[in-house]
Structure 1
């Protein structure tokens, strides 16, 4: 006779979850990043005096996605377009066509290369780095390394007198954007990294000192946990192309952190989906409205794009009925599209959880808040699920198999 008993998870109180998260700060390093004094980091970077106009970041996953999220959000900001010192390019994929296509956009003689790998042995990163070294001379004059202090990549940097910046061992890759992983390239490019940290610190303080974000984050995380078997898909609907990078970062953060086996040896996981409005109104919205009710929705809007571009007051033959959009600001149009979508979903799907995040403007301060908000939310959901939020054995298994295949 075979008898299997499956014990239900015990739903902990808000106070117990909060106590565990506070305790976790002693061993999980990302919590402390907003509080780090970066004065010495900025002085060191200023003294390096790199003059290259382009930066090529070589990395993958947590080594690049956070930086890309911030860069993609900020790069068209009119204020920053005048002050940015360098343009960023990202080498993440071993797709040879994409690799050479990205290279074709660079002036290799005027490029600073930054290799980022926490372990220092990431196959994709080292493969791309080797190829770039074969077509352009790369040395301490045009190269920085960001890695753990005892990695093989750091040994390479030390041997060749190349400047290296440390990734703390207690900071996981997907939680590392506010470490040297993101701060070094963003500062060199001309972004205000003090504002990134200041806003993240505000989020941290609000939660840990139990101000307005405490109840909000705990309630949101508990909702995801208690309804996980009904609403197993968490979709972010970002109403701006500027948030495309954030969506990609969120998908890695949520998927790699929460897809785990819990303390009862039960498979857990909440599937992340990143959508962009208004584009995905014309595709995925159909599935949301008339498909299965298995998704929660978070809409993200930008309150003020600080761009007054208007729809031209032109009458088109045969399209006179659309003249009501003439002279409408595009920033008003996109936010009304968001509001209409939200209203439509609420009307058709009264049973699914919906929340709205409104970003004030396009700035380092606002994107810093959003990133740290989601890192905290991920950690809290992980506590409810009774999983290890910070490992990734499923990913590591694939890496091991790949190395065995390549060695053969």
Structure 2
């Protein structure tokens, strides 16, 4: 992974960071790196996520999914971090095994998805650390009912990824289901490189060792200086730009296969850093598509954004046929890849010309190793940013509040958060 901060400097952009300020910030990065290193050495909660390249056992994952080697599809039932990491890998990498994700309880979406999946030929992976996540368990009950209705023995097509205790662990023990353990000390949004994110990849036939090797490359690049570590460079400059007014971080990959990566990043950045009145708001975009829908705002709207432009430097390509259509002759003889690269560089230059901060992130190609490095790099960047903000990166109290309120509304316990729903202020216009 390579990170270019040139267009985030204050002689290019406003807001921007002075080169001298980066030098000063680097002293704080060094202190933060020591804290991160200590957390990793002691396998502390959250910091343990950065040890996953060394602690995850890919053989155990492959063994757990071996009963589903005949699957034509894999259906992951989870939400948030229990699904987005797996979906990022699945949507980025090609496979003959289709991947589906039930990560919402919209009944129409659930019905449509289940109509598309041959449950007799699918592996169903139910993912919840606690084993009590309402959305996940509700969807699993619906899936299990659909399997029964289709004459499919759900116990033969289901495995779980969960903690050592809880409803899902009890279910696995009762029905002798294959089970993978969620790693201790790793929050869900940091679990893409663990059993949580890699089980789907294993069923799809992807190279887990290459994914973890890429993550190890990212770990090896962590250094006490932002000028020596791409991950720290990204995390530090994002923090610095936010402190100077760039409160929105628009993640804009220039590869269709990385669109879900932008969704994964949005959860990682928002849930980890949005505390105590600080933290950037992540926005999701896709190049070149959103040059025609969002770039107007990023270039000419409020000066409260940085744009993160991500691209692979190598990709499969397709030639553009020659044409004699007036005004289009210049396209003939080039390729779609060349056009996409031109769009990337034009967007980058357009933002710089308007004085809008942007950061270039490049990976070699969209393959297992590069994805492992990219995911690890963004996780490390997020942890570093959390240290600089002074927030607890690994908790999510605001999310837990909403979970308790919803559970109380459904009769799942007596939670005072549910009482707040009845106090809603209304001003209805019909």
Give your verdict on TM over 0.5.
yes
Task: Structure 2: give runs of 5+ residues left out of the alignment.
Answer: 1-23, 413-430
Shift of 1:140: 3.0
Instruction: Name the residue aligned to 1:399.
Output: 403
Task: Structure 1: give runs of 5+ residues left out of the alignment.
Answer: 1-9, 76-80, 262-266
Instruction: Name the residue aligned to 1:323.
Output: 329
Q: Deviations over 1:243-287 (max 9, x none)?
A: 1110000000000000012xxxxx112111121011110121101
Q: Deviations over 1:5-31 (max 9, x none)?
A: xxxxx9872321111111121203211
The aligned runs of 1:3-402 (5 Å cut-off) are 13-25=28-40, 26=42, 27=44, 28-36=47-55, 38=57, 40-42=59-61, 44-45=63-64, 47-48=66-67, 50-75=69-94, 81=95, 84=96, 86-137=97-148, 138-208=153-223, 214-229=228-243, 230-261=245-276, 267-307=277-317, 309-316=318-325, 320-349=326-355, 352-402=356-406
CA distance in 2, matches of 1:304, 1:212: 26
Instruction: Name the residue aligned to 1:4.
Output: none
- SS at the partner of 1:357? strand
Q: Residues 372 and 43 from structure 1, CA distance in 2 versus in 1: closer, same or farther, beyond 3 angstroms?
A: closer
Aligned length: 379
Shift of 1:400: 0.4
Q: Residues 388 and 156 from structure 1, CA distance in 2 versus in 1: closer, same or farther, beyond 3 angstroms?
A: same
Q: TM-score, normalised by structure 1?
A: 0.88
- SS at the partner of 1:234? strand
- SS at the partner of 2:90? helix
Contact between 2:29 and 2:226, CA under 8 Å: does it hold in 1? no
Contact between 1:57 and 1:64, CA under 8 Å: does it hold in 2? yes
- SS at the partner of 2:110? helix
Divergent runs of 4+, >6 A: none
CA distance in 1, matches of 2:375, 2:128: 20
CA distance in 1, matches of 2:49, 2:206: 21
Shift of 1:48: 2.9
Shift of 1:207: 0.6
Q: Residues 258 and 54 from structure 1, CA distance in 2 versus in 1: closer, same or farther, beyond 3 angstroms?
A: same
CA distance in 2, matches of 1:112, 1:218: 38
Q: TM-score, normalised by structure 2?
A: 0.84
- SS at the partner of 1:126? helix
Contact between 1:53 and 1:110, CA under 8 Å: does it hold in 2? yes
- SS at the partner of 2:344? helix
Contact between 1:139 and 1:160, CA under 8 Å: does it hold in 2? no
Shift of 1:56: 0.8
Contact between 1:207 and 1:213, CA under 8 Å: does it hold in 2? no
| Worse overlay, 353-362 or 178-187 | 353-362
Instruction: Name the residue aligned to 2:12.
Output: none
CA distance in 1, matches of 2:225, 2:385: 19
Q: Residues 94 and 135 from structure 1, CA distance in 2 versus in 1: closer, same or farther, beyond 3 angstroms?
A: same
- SS at the partner of 1:162? coil
- SS at the partner of 1:228? helix
Shift of 1:216: 4.1
Q: Residues 216 and 139 from structure 1, CA distance in 2 versus in 1: closer, same or farther, beyond 3 angstroms?
A: closer
Shift of 1:38: 2.6
CA distance in 2, matches of 1:13, 1:188: 42
